[in-house]
A and B are shown apart, each in its own frame.
Chain A
Amino acid sequence: MDQPNARQGLLNRRFLLTAGVLLSAVAWAGCGGEYPQSALHPRSDFADRLDVLFRQIFWWAMGVFVVVEAAILYTIFRWRDRPGRDRPKEVHGHILMEVGWTLAPALILVAIAIPTIRTIFIVDRPTTDPNALVIEVTGHQWWWEFEYPEMDIVTANEIHIPLGRTIDLRLRSADVMHSFWVPRLGGKRDLVPGRETQLWFTADSVGVYWGQCAEFCGTSHALMGMRVIVDTPEDFAAWAAVNAGDAVQITDAQARAGRGVFGANACVSCHRVGGTPAEGQFGPDLTHFGSRLTIGAGILDNNFENLVRWIDSTQHVKPGNLMPEVYLSADQVAQLAAYLLALR
């Protein structure tokens, strides 16, 4: 044992690493940044409750982390093998110490359990707000269907909701397990075939929030996104007025040609466009497609170029996607895109 210095070198490296870990944790606690799908930047009562609870637990955990890691590092440094030491004394245990380090974590856990159970009995129960806006959510491989029963609105992959009003989601699945997750508005809830699950929250800031499916659901699970747009009550009313109705009249010539392409091809067998002969039920409702922010369940910004790409090579953009490749000329694709964008 002639290398205590080398040993110390090893210890110092370990110390530096731990310090790095701690520093990065502190940096994280203070960081802002643009994270549209972050659980740490809550914008609803539900998300707030989870965040408050998480932060409480986080600081308890940090306290334990510092104490335990410091104890480990100090112990191995203090009692590292050095020449000339006697063989250690036998110590077989110490009742009081055992009781102490049983009770200390137990008390911390009680401190965590009390707010935990309080929160459970708020967030895991149905809402009691009689004015809640009910939205029925159906998960499909790999898109979201949304229906507002009291307003006769059916849409896909994005919802508009009013600021300050309780939103009561009723979740179902049309095929496999999915999970509804819009982190800035709250935690997950699974969509289970044969069951109806619920989730409710009240958004507190206007904005566009990202969400996506959080339960593995097959090939394009990664591409099952959505947007939740929180509007002022006035903006929401305006949106709802437009979206409750049938599709707008198409005047643009290119778009009218596109309507013909749409009607003459397989599109109509899966998609519905309200007020037209297109009554398909299998795919997303396209009645007001032009007003949506994204294409393909949150994966592309909704604009002409992306829409052409989507129609042209949908299986490349979203592999496994249940929309088949359609064989159309470039002109037809452009006309179709113009039509869909005109459906505002």
Chain B
Amino acid sequence: MSADASTHEGLYRGGIWSWLTTVDHKRIGILYFVTGFVFLLVAGIEGQLIRTQLAQPELRILHPDFYNQLFTMHGTTMVFFAGMPLIIAFFNYIVPLQIGARDVAFPRLNAFSFWVLLFGGLFLYSSFFFGGAPDGGWFAYTPLTNREYSPGMGMDFYILALLLAGVGSIAGGVNFLVTIVNMRAPGMSFMRLPLFSWMALLVSILILLAFPPFTIGLVYMLFDRSFGTHFFDAAAGADPVLWQHLFWVFGHPEVYILILPAFGIVSDVIPAFSKKSLFGYPVVVFSGVLIAFLGFGVWVHHMFSVGLGPIVNAVFGGGTMLIAIPTGIKIFNWIATLWGGQIRFTTAMLFAIGLLVTFTIGGLSGVMHASPPSDLQQTDTYFIVAHFHYVLIGGTVFGLFAGFYYWFPKATGRMLSEKLGAWHFWLTFVALNVTFFPMHFSGLLGMPRRTFTYAAGLGLDVFNLISTIGAFLFTIAFLPLVVNLVRGLLKGDAAGANPWDAHTLEWTMSSPPPHYNFAVLPEVHRRDPLWHPYVVEGSDEVDGPSGVVPRLQPTDPPEPIIMPGPSYWPIFMATGLLIATIGGLGSLFVTLTGAAVALVGLFGWAFEPAEPEGEEAD
């Protein structure tokens, strides 16, 4: 085992070049994670600048234009460059392990997805050095964002960056859809699939269906801005509300893209630390399917104040309320899973339970504006800001942290400190509630969103001051995380294959996993395979007597394993697309150059000889 472990640590060795050309889903997962984490910190700092400006009424710390850039970048970054990369990071690292595969279906496409995402984010942030970042809000409503009212280049950066990153998202959606449908281990039927992989499947479908309308909207907007077309121009007889539809028919499923993976993580973490299978597995799966399906039919609830008429509002209000039912079902099934369990309050479990507690608050405030008339007082106020931060921090971020603490030993082979983890959880929990709970009041008492200041006469000083104090608590809450991370990487205890006595396939092989994941592809005979006897073909190991002792993967693969070799074509082609994107700011020549580079990359990629690197499998 020890000799073997040293080979496995080689997984993360190698120079920069090996990272630039990697097609290993685990390495790409780590690249996504680091990228998402850095953007999370940047967008968090932007959030704190916003709260600084709002600490007192009528402050003039930041210029309104800069403030508008900050909240635009905060939202855009959190959704596209922090939330999604962190989610895709977990998809990358965990899904192939959970379904019993050696990699994703299209490893080079996977690398390509990452590089265009990273380039999109860097391109977006470069706007700060070229006349200012986008300032039209992450929702970019026209006509404010057309050339007449936003003459600077900010919105061009927004459009082009999201088009570029969107290519990566769609490619990622295809990749994980195909991976989960086609590459499940023998016997891993859909009704045996771990919940996280199930949610990854749903999210892949959501990405595939939701991003195209957004892409079309962005292209329309680009054409309106750059070529004088009139897709959204009321003066030319078009309707600017069309943009709102295109944006929200993407934007609402996007919310589920961000929350379903967290639900999936929690559905894996709660059983692991209750020592008890998920209660009502099929119901939890199908409530997820239902949420994903209904998520496409509710986008107008972002537009109740537009005045689309009573029938439209009634239909979309009713549809929105329906989503509360499958969401409630999930919560109840999680509680039922906990019930009768042997609950260990590890950090991962604290965050998972924290999600139940805080997501419930966000869900209930959501019902308050699912009702369109009630929403007429709440939309575009801080009540909404409170709601979706409860959902996105209390839901998505808590879920991702649960996953981080749960799978960190698997990915690094080292344990994190549970004590520091508990500090991290409690500080985050307090910061979340101190920052965002008062916003329910400031919203209902008359504070609109996206305002760089507010009148002293509104009586909202105290609520805002508390929110600002809470925002700074988030910084303190991050300290134990960072210390824990560094400490864990340097001198954390060795994790072993399955430190948590967890139930899914990723816990069968050593930590970190060998780059081929499974020496022998497992054969799955039932749900939660590690808690029950299962058979590994070609292995002599004997099942544990109680059926709950996990059997490890054999350390020596009995036969050669063919894995894809590294390739520089994905980053090459992504670079071409980046150049083409830069050209979109106003140079046809640069765009064509970039397109040519991308084409060369595509050609090289298509005709690259397969070079299996089998030496590590010896």
Contacts and interface: CB of A to CB of B under 8 A. Distances in A.
Given A190-B307, A222-B453, A216 B137 contact: yes
Contacts of B310: 120-121, 124-125
B560 interface: no
Nearest to A55: B374
A176 B144 contact: yes
Interface stretch (B26-34, B340-348, B603-611): B340-348
A72 interface: yes
B376 to A, nearest CB: 2
Interface string B361-387: 100110110011111111111000000
A143 B166 CA distance: 37
Contact of A81 (B313, B336, B344, B379): B344
Nearest to A109: B321
B181 interface: no
B306 interface: yes
B275 A105 contact: no
Contact of A101 (B328, B340, B430): B328
Interface in B327-342: 328-329, 331-333, 335-336, 338-342
A266 interface: no
Given A76-B353, A120-B372, A88 B446 contact: no
B380 A189 contact: no
B241 interface: yes
Interface string B222-258: 0000000000001101111100000000000000000
A79 B336 CA distance: 11
Contact of B444 (A40, A79, A120, A181): A40
Interface string B414-457: 00000000100010011001000100010011111111111101
A90 B360 contact: no
Contacts of A68: 331, 335, 360
B517 to A, nearest CB: 28
B341 A88 contact: yes
B318 interface: yes
Contacts of A101: 328-329, 332
Contacts of B329: 98, 101-102, 105
B321 A113 contact: yes
Nearest to A92: B277
A187 B306 contact: no
Interface string A182-199: 010011111011110111
A177 interface: yes
A186 B283 contact: no
A35 B458 contact: yes
A24 B318 CA distance: 30
Contacts of A49: 373
A175 B149 contact: yes
Interface string A80-119: 1100010111111110011001100110010011001101
B305 interface: yes
A319 B361 contact: no
B274 interface: yes
Contacts of B338: 72, 75-76, 79
B446 A188 contact: no
B21 to A, nearest CB: 43
A39 B144 CA distance: 27
A188 B144 contact: no
Interface stretch (B61-69, B170-178, B192-200, B506-514): B61-69
A225 to B, nearest CB: 7
Contacts of B235: 193-194
A92 B336 CA distance: 10
A313 B372 CA distance: 42
Interface residues of A, number: 103
Contact of B335 (A71, A123, A187, A214): A71
B379 A188 contact: yes
Interface range, B side: 35 or more
A40 B343 CA distance: 42
Contacts of A113: 317-318, 321, 371
A24 to B, nearest CB: 7
Interface in B104-119: none
B373 A92 contact: no
A53 interface: yes
A89 B342 CA distance: 10
Contacts of A124: 307, 309-310, 313, 372-373
A53 B282 contact: no
A97 B373 contact: no
Contact of B371 (A13, A53, A87, A177): A53
Interface stretch (A58-66, A130-138, A147-155, A230-238): A58-66
B375 to A, nearest CB: 8
B551 interface: no
Contact of A215 (B331, B372, B380, B445): B380
A220 interface: yes
B47 interface: no
Given A36-B457, A109-B321, A189-B305, A216 B450 contact: yes
A85 B343 CA distance: 11
A120 B316 CA distance: 12
A72 B458 CA distance: 37
B169 to A, nearest CB: 25
Given A101-B332, A109-B321, A34 B459 contact: yes
B335 A75 contact: yes
Interface string B530-553: 000000000000000000100000
B152 to A, nearest CB: 12
A177 B448 CA distance: 15
A306 interface: no
Nearest to B244: A177
Given A36-B457, A87-B548, A195-B241, A61 B368 contact: yes
Given A72-B353, A112-B371, A38 B446 contact: yes
Contacts of B313: 120, 124
A218 B142 CA distance: 11
A33 B342 contact: no
Contact of B374 (A54, A65, A175, A195): A54
Contacts of B365: 61
A112 to B, nearest CB: 6
Contacts of A192: 234, 240-241, 306-307
A213 interface: yes
B276 interface: yes
Interface in A227-281: none
A194 B234 contact: yes
Contacts of B445: 35, 37-40
Given A175-B143, A214-B380, A88 B282 contact: no
17 contacts: A7-B345, A17-B430, A33-B459, A34-B459, A35-B460, A49-B373, A65-B364, A76-B338, A79-B340, A91-B277, A92-B277, A98-B283, A109-B367, A113-B371, A124-B310, A141-B149, A176-B144
Smallest CB-CB A-B distances: 8 pairs: A187-B376, A37-B446, A194-B234, A222-B451, A197-B307, A39-B377, A193-B234, A124-B310
Interface of A: 1, 7, 10, 13-14, 17-18, 21, 24, 28, 33-40, 47, 49-51, 53-54, 57-58, 60-61, 64-65, 68-69, 71-72, 75-76, 78-81, 85, 87-94, 97-98, 101-102, 105-106, 109, 112-113, 116-117, 119-121, 123-125, 141, 175-177, 179, 181, 183, 186-190, 192-195, 197-199, 210, 212-223, 225, 298-299, 319-320
Interface of B: 63-65, 68, 136-137, 141, 143-144, 149, 234-235, 237-241, 274-277, 279-283, 305-307, 309-310, 313-314, 317-318, 321-322, 324-325, 328-329, 331-333, 335-336, 338-345, 350, 353, 356-357, 360-361, 364-365, 367-368, 371-381, 422, 426, 429-430, 433, 437, 441, 444-455, 457-460, 548
Given A193-B234, A194-B235, 20 more contacts: A38-B444, A39-B378, A50-B376, A54-B371, A68-B331, A81-B343, A81-B344, A88-B275, A93-B279, A112-B371, A117-B314, A120-B313, A120-B372, A190-B305, A195-B239, A197-B307, A210-B457, A221-B451, A319-B63, A319-B64
